[in-house]
Structure 1
Amino acid sequence: MTCSSCSIILPIKDQGLLKIRHPRVSLIPALDGLGMLSQKCCENGRVFRYNSRSELEQLVNGLARLPHEWLLHMEALVTGMYHVEGYEDWLLFSQLQVRLQHPEIVNIICDKSFSSHLQPIVDHKLNIIGFEFLLRPSHSERPFQPFRLFEIAREAGLHAHLDRSARISAIEKSAACLPAGIKRFINFLPSTIYNPVYCLNHTFETIDRLSMNTEDFVFEVVETEEIDDVSILHQIFEKYRTRGVSVALDDVGAGYSTTELMNCLQPDYVKIDRSLINGCHRSSDQKRQITGIVESASRFGGLVLAEGVEQMEDFEFCREAGVSLAQGYLFGKPEPCPPSNFVLSRVV
């Protein structure tokens, strides 16, 4: 079984062929109207030869003058003079445009030029029970903002590659710097997992290869777009749990991570968004929302974690309200390595 979103990323060569096709429209009349000479490559498809990166960019810019409604569904394929036999990485034309506009981001993803920083997660006694792994640049000369990296990767059709690589990188980092028994909270984008049985194989293969205990892992749902099909998330959760992995719902109380979604999915960990935690000790509305989340989570046995804690007064309220765990600058910033003297505590 193969998945184009999880397979190799073919590099854009400085010389090669640009193929385009449209599922419903013949492109020949429009291309003739633009004065763009081409040859037929397939049904409703044309091919252009280019001899430099600038020529390729000129071709793409010329094709961008086609009617907008055509561009929405037009696909493109760039091949070098020599390419992987039997493999064709057809993209939406818009995805090719983004890859050409942001070559530095594509290179960071292809080269896996990133690492993970660890931020501690504490219990009500301030013992560290685990760490969240957060994506950061691995080289100062190739900086990026994590949110922007994923945003461009999504536009370029590379977010599945990035999400999988970041997940594996975090697992490998945890094996190198954490003892057994400490929780490892690792983010994943559910929109990148099209078939849970296949798409999660890389995750479990990495854990098995490093002889790690799946029960030490907590995978967090992080989603910046509305989840249209909750049944897919249920399948993902089921796949994780059958392997002994816990699951968490991130940013509850903000954006698309609503309390309704929490009650539907019933995650093992419920992470309350920092917007509800910051200044909660002096806001009756925030207190009410936090208390409501704790009460809802208690009905299905979910452990509640407060994110973005920066004030002791907020932590104290959360602790009194029944929040089990906390994370934020009050306890430690994301760092390349865990503190050498952290106290290991276990959460059942």
Structure 2
Amino acid sequence: MECSNCSSARPIEDQGTLLFVSSQLIPLNKITQLFTNSRIFTVDSNQVFDDGQPHTVTNGVNYFIPISYLSREELLNGLKSVYDKLTSSEQLDIHIEIDESNWSLAPTKSKAVALPQFFARMKHHNLVTMMTNGQFTSHMQPIIDMQSQRVFGYEFLLRPSAGQAAFNPFELFSVAQQTGLHSFLDRAARISAIQTSALHLPQGIKRFVNFLPSSIYNPNYCLSHTFKAIEDNKLDPRDFVFEVVETERIEDIGHLKKIFAIYQKQGMQVALDDVGTGFATLEVLPELAPDFVKIDRGLIDNCDQDENKQQQIIRIIEISHSFGATVLAEGMERKEEWDFCKKHGIELAQGYLLGRPAALPLGTASIEI
């Protein structure tokens, strides 16, 4: 079984040839006319009929035209001109194939990239290169047991590799979404976290790893790489907690429940992030019944001084404990917040008060508050 959404993107070379594929003739005619009049591009005349229209494949499903370019910069400018001349439906119908080994007498769009995604890959070439080359690593932020003040685990967060340009993780995932690479990046980030944990953490320390439900199209296949990485690194599945990443809209509860069930069947635990604000509402908690409930940092911030936040936090604790979940307070920066959360029965905490994300774990098994 294959999943094209989990695959990496082939690099867009400084010079090369692209195959434009469409189920409609009109948008390819527009592209052919535009590129034929340019000195930067070469349209393969063998693939154009005498009337100047692109060839159709033998099964009558798609039209196609190979176009060569001399410069990545000029290709970007040319694609912008093409983009502006196409209707929105034509933009979505046009697909571009980079790998000439896939070309045949009957090209299809199955292994090609939709024009909007290809255009986004050109615009964000540096970030796409960073993704596809794996120029990132995982840093660890400690999660502390509030009763014992011992290290319970670490959350793994994506960061640039040593010597690489800085990036904003939110921006990186946003670009991945625009370019159709979010499944690839999400999988790569999970595997990076697993490998980093194997290098630095002993058995028994929990490893909290983020995931995007929308990036997992076929859970049994898309998660198989994650399970194999855990097995290959000889790690205990029971040490892993996979959490729905913050900002991820929960649109399909059934799909997320299926993902949770597959993780749990493998002996792992699951967490719901961002609870109390955004999309992780209280209504979904009992239905999803995660092993861990992470209260959003926005509620924890100055919770000792805000009665409304206190009521919301206490309600989350009550609901979570009703189905046996462990509660974790995120974004803790002040001792007063720690005292309030501990007093009301929150088991775990995470935040700058306890430790910032770092390339290495804490040098101690417990902390002093």
Per the normalisation by structure 2, the TM-score is 0.87
Quick one: distance in 1 between partners of 2:191 and 2:159?
14
* 8 A Cα contact 1:20 1:74, kept in partner: no
Matches of 1:194 and 1:298 in 2, distance apart?
Answer: 31
Inter-CA distance 31–54: structure 2 relative to 1 (3 Å threshold): same
- Rounded to whole Å, the distance in 1 between the matches of 2:14 and 2:95 is 16
Alpha-carbon distance, 1:21 to partner: 3.3
Unaligned runs of 5+ in 2: 38-42, 49-53
Query: Secondary structure of the equivalent of 1:228?
Result: coil
1:340 aligns with 2:363: yes
Q: CA deviation at 1:121?
A: 0.5
Q: Kindly indicate whether the alpha-carbon contact (under 8 Å) linking 2:135 and 2:164 is maintained by their aligned counterparts in 1.
A: no
Q: Does 1:67 align with 2:90?
A: no
Cα distance between partner residues in 2 of 1:284 and 1:261:
24
> For 1:205 and 1:227, how far apart are their aligned partners in 2?
27
Q: How many residues align?
A: 343
- Counterparts of 1:154 and 1:35, CA distance in 2: 29
Indicate the percent of aligned positions where both proteins have the same amino acid. 41
The CA deviation at 1:15 is 2.9
Distance across 1 between alignment mates of 2:36 and 2:83: 12
What is the aligned partner in structure 1 of residue 21 from structure 2?
Answer: 21
Note the 1:51-66 alignment, pairs <5 A: 51-66=70-85
Q: Is the contact between residue 26 and residue 44 of structure 1 (CA under 8 Å) also seen in structure 2?
A: no
- 1:205 partnered with 2:224: no
Q: Is 1:111 aligned to 2:133, yes or no? A: yes
Unaligned runs of 5+ in 1: none
Task: Tell me the SS of whatever aligns to 2:92.
Answer: coil
State how 1:57-96 maps to structure 2 within 5 Å.
57-79=76-98, 83=101, 89-96=111-118
1:164-175 paired onto structure 2 within 5 Å: 164-175=187-198
Residue 121 of structure 2: SS of its match in structure 1? helix
> 2 CA distance for matches of 1:4 and 1:229?
21
- 2:306 counterpart of 1:306: no
- Matches of 1:150 and 1:181 in 2, distance apart? 30
CA distance in 1, matches of 2:28, 2:197: 54
Tell me the SS of whatever aligns to 1:49.
Answer: strand
Deviating 4+ runs (over 3 angstroms): 21-26, 28-39, 44-47, 82-89
Rounded Cα–Cα distance in structure 1 between residues aligned with 2:31 and 2:132: 33
Q: Does 225-234 or 33-42 show the bigger shift?
A: 33-42
Between 211-220 and 258-267, the greater mean CA deviation after superposition: 258-267
Q: Name the aligned partner's letter for residue 9 of structure 2.
A: I
Read off the aligned partner of 2:225 and give its amino acid letter.
H
Q: SS of 2:353's equivalent?
A: coil
| Matched residue SS, 2:177 | helix
Residue in 2 aligned with 1:5?
Answer: 5
Structure with higher Rg: it is 2
Quick check: 1:13–1:79 contact (8 Å CA) kept in 2? no
2:354 equivalent to 1:331? yes
Question: Which SS does the other structure have where 2:339 is aligned?
Answer: helix
In the aligned structure 2, how far is the partner of 1:215 from the partner of 1:85?
45
Two-structure CA RMSD over aligned residues (Å): 2.2
- How far apart are the structure 2 equivalents of 1:284 and 1:24? 60
Contact 1:175 1:210 in 2 (8 A): yes
Q: 1:67 to 1:335 in 2, by over 3 A?
A: same
**Greater shift in the superposed pair: 57-66 or 276-285:** 57-66
Q: Secondary structure at the match of 1:117?
A: strand
- CA drift of 1:140 comes to 3.7
Q: Is the 8 A contact 2:205 2:239 kept in 1?
A: yes
